C-alpha cells in the first residue's frame, strides 16, 4: 500500500504529533505510524475518527488516485 | 475513541494478535506431531530419548515463544495505556537466568544427571524453559530500543 502523506500534511497543519493524533483517535503510536506508512489499512470507523480529529473529509485523507495501468496500491 | 484511562488493544493489534494465536495453534499442533514422531520413529532406532517432562516443556514453551515473539515484533503485546511490560520482562530475565544457572550448576556438581540410562532428564526441560523466557525478554527489550530509535524523533 502507498504511504498516506495526506494524513501527515493534515497533522502538520494542526501542529499535531503522531503520538497526539494516535491518542486522540484511540490507537497506539505504532498503529498510526503504520497507517501513515501504508502498512496498515484502517477500518472505516478509524478513518472517520482520524478525519474528525483532523477536520478533513474521507476523500481528502484516504482517496487513492488510480493511474491507468497501475495496481490499486495493494 | 480516545479513551485515555482504559487499557485495550486497538484494531491493528487485535488483528495481529489473532494472527499470532493462529500461528501458535499451528505450532502447537506441529510440536505434538513432532513429539510423537520423535518418540515412535527416532527412538525406536536406538537414538537417545528425552523424558516426558522435558518433552512437555518443549511442547509448551516453543509455541509460547513463537506467539510472544510475533506479538512483540508486531507491537501487539501491550495494551494502549499499559505500562507493566518492562517489569514482567525483567522478571522473565531473572527467572530465566535463575533456571539456567541453577540447572547448570546442579548438573556440573553431579547432583543431577543430564543423561541417565540413555534418557535425557529434567535438566533439558529446565534449561529450555529458562532459555525461552530469556529469548522472549531479549526480543522485547531489543524491540523497545528499536522503537525508541524509530519513533524517538517525533514528527
- Got the DSSP string for B42-106? IGGGT--EE-HHHHHHHHHHHHHHHHHHHHHHTT-SS-BT---HHHHHHHHHHHHHHHHHHHHHH
Side-chain half-sphere CA neighbours of B142 within 13 A: 10
pLDDT of B150 higher than 70: yes
A7, A50 contact by CB (below 8 A): yes
pLDDT tens digits for B37-95? 888 776 777 667 888 999 999 999 999 999 999 999 999 999 988 888 899 999 999 99
Asked if B151 and A29 come within 8 Å (Cβ–Cβ), the reply is yes
Query: What pLDDT is stored for residue B40 in this prediction?
Result: 78
Phi first, then psi: give them for residue B50, nearest 5 degrees: -115, 140
Three cell numbers written together for B78? 501491550
Residue ranges per structural domain of chain A? 5-62
Mean pLDDT of chain B: 90
Nearest-neighbour CA in chain A from B18: distance (Å): 15
Query: What pLDDT is stored for residue B72 in this prediction?
Result: 96
B145, burial (CB in 10 Å: exposed 0-12, middle 13-18, buried 19+): exposed
Three cell numbers written together for A22? 494516535
- Got the DSSP string for A3-48? --HHHHHHHHHTT--HHHHHHHHT--HHHHHHHHHTS----HHHHH
User: What fold does the segment set A5-62 form as a domain?
Assistant: 434 Repressor (Amino-terminal Domain) (1.10.260)
> In chain A, whose CA is at the least distance from the CA of B144?
A30
Cβ within 8 Å of B, A 32-71: 33-34, 40, 42-43, 45-46, 49
Asked if A27 and B3 come within 8 Å (Cβ–Cβ), the reply is no
- If you average pLDDT over residues A18-31, what whole number do you get? 94
Residue ranges per structural domain of chain B? 11-151
Residue A56 DSSP SS3: coil
Three cell numbers written together for B46? 536406538
Amino acid at each position: 500500500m502507498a504511504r498516506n502523506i495526506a494524513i501527515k500534511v493534515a497533522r502538520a497543519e494542526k501542529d499535531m504529533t503522531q503520538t497526539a493524533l494516535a491518542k486522540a483517535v484511540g490507537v497506539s503510536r505504532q498503529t498510526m505510524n503504520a497507517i501513515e506508512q501504508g502498512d496498515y489499512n484502517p477500518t472505516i470507523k478509524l478513518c472517520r475518527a482520524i478525519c474528525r480529529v483532523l477536520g478533513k473529509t474521507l476523500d481528502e485523507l484516504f482517496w487513492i488516485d488510480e493511474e491507468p495501468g497501475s495496481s490499486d496500491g495493494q | 475513541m480516545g479513551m485515555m484511562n482504559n487499557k485495550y488493544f486497538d484494531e491493528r493489534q487485535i488483528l495481529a494478535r489473532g494472527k499470532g494465536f493462529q500461528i501458535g495453534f499451528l505450532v502447537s499442533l506441529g510440536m505434538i506431531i513432532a513429539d510423537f514422531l520423535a518418540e515412535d520413529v527416532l527412538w525406536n532406532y536406538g537414538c537417545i530419548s528425552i523424558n516426558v517432562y522435558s518433552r512437555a516443556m518443549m511442547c509448551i514453551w516453543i509455541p509460547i515463544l513463537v506467539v510472544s515473539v510475533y506479538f512483540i515484533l508486531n507491537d501487539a503485546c501491550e495494551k494502549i495505556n499499559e505500562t507493566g511490560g518492562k517489569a514482567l520482562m525483567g522478571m522473565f530475565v531473572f527467572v530465566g537466568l535463575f533456571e539456567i544457572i541453577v540447572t547448570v550448576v546442579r548438573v556440573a556438581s553431579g547432583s543431577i544427571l543430564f543423561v541417565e540410562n540413555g534418557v535425557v532428564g529434567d535438566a533439558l526441560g529446565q534449561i529450555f524453559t529458562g532459555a525461552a523466557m530469556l529469548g522472549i525478554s531479549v526480543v522485547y527489550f531489543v524491540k523497545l530500543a528499536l522503537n525508541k530509535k524509530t519513533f524517538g524523533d517525533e514528527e
